[in-house]
Amino acid sequence: MPLLTLRNVTKSYKAPDGSRLTVLDIPSFDLETEAQVALRGASGSGKTSLLHAIAGIIPVDAGEIVIDETSLHSLSESERDRLRAEKLGFVFQTFNLLPGFTAKENVELGMLFGKGVDPDWAEHLLSRVGLADRMGYRPSQLSIGQQQRIAVARALANRPKLVLADEPTGNLDHRRAHEALSLMREICTEANAALLLVSHDRSILSEFEVGHDLADLNRALKDDENGGER
């Protein structure tokens, strides 16, 4: 049984002119346990919507998303929150660290709503990403690369089964992006977490054994010749 299964998932938004704009129409997608998969898509191809749908942050119009044998459709909102807190980790393009909290606290926030705060694990993760001596620093006191590493550590904080990464290296130069990606993949492997990464950067795909073009999975892109913003 795959860790993540998508079947006939569709998602549309209301356009300003009142019509419906479909951004996701994915007949089938599977992700195996501990697998690491990259999806490439142009800007507006529904990458973020896809990850938010998988995370249960936005509801889908139709179809089924199953994570670790649990169908999101069958869960209430607070149960989806719980599932997200316990089984998923998130790395955002802008990292979305909370500015008022230290590096360690940001990582601990990733545990707070799940299985509980484990300061030792937070320290281990920060040491693992090379920030052992920066645990008490706030994000504004750290470089972009260091902030990105905190975000990676936070995504692993609750020992998730699946890490969702949305353009995680979008703010880094090529060399740092490569290093960050390698680190993220290593840590996911160590933590036995699967990784689903979306990016507009074609070179990212070459770093993964398994990579797909989102256009091959998402029929909404094929139907919409003009692409459009999503």
Partner 1 sequence: MSRKIGRRTIILRSLRQHALSTAITVIAVGLAVGLTISVFSIRQQTYNAFTGGQTGFDAILGARGAPLQLVLNAVFHLETSPGNIPWSMYQQMKSDPRVELAVPYAVGDNYYGYRLVGTTTELFTEFEYREGQKLTPAAGGRLFDPNRMEAVLGHYAAEKTGLTVGSTFSPFHGLYFDPGTEHQEVYTVVGILEPTNSPTDRIFLIPIEGVFRMEGHVLRGSGEVFVPESGNEIPDEHKEVSAVMLKFGSPQTGFMFDQLINKQGKVATLAWPIGAIMADLFDKIGWMNSVLALVAYLVIIVAAGTIMASLYNTMNERRREFAILRALGARRRTVFQVIVLEATSIAAIGTLVGLGIYLMILSVAAAIIREQTGVVLDLMAYDASLVWVPALMVILGAVTGVVPAIKAYRTAVGENLVAGA
Which residues contact partner 1 by CB under 8 A? 48-49, 52, 55, 57-58, 77-78, 81-82, 84-86, 88, 90, 92-94, 96, 98-102, 104-105, 108-110, 112-114, 117, 119, 123, 135-136, 154, 158
Which residue from 168, 149, 163, 157 is spatially nearest to 196, judged by alpha carbons? 163
C-beta of 104: minimal distance to partner 1 in Å?
A: 7
Cα separation, 78 vs 16, whole angstroms: 30
**Cβ nearer to partner 1, comparing 117 with 172:** 117
Q: Which is nearer to partner 1, 30 or 42 (CB)?
A: 42
- The three-state secondary structure class of 194 is strand
Q: List C-alpha distances in Å: 100 to 62, 70, 103, 104, 136.
A: 39, 35, 10, 12, 11
Q: Which is nearer to partner 1, 117 or 215 (CB)?
A: 117
Please state the closest distance from residue 209 (CB atom) to partner 1, in A: 28
Q: How far is the CB of 80 from partner 1 (least distance, A)?
A: 9
CB of 198 to partner 1, least distance (A): 13
Return the number of the residue (6 or 107) whose C-beta is nearest partner 1: 107
- The DSSP annotation for 11-68 comes to EEEE-TTS-EEEEEEEEEEEE-TT-EEEEE--TTSSHHHHHHHHTTSS--SEEEEEET
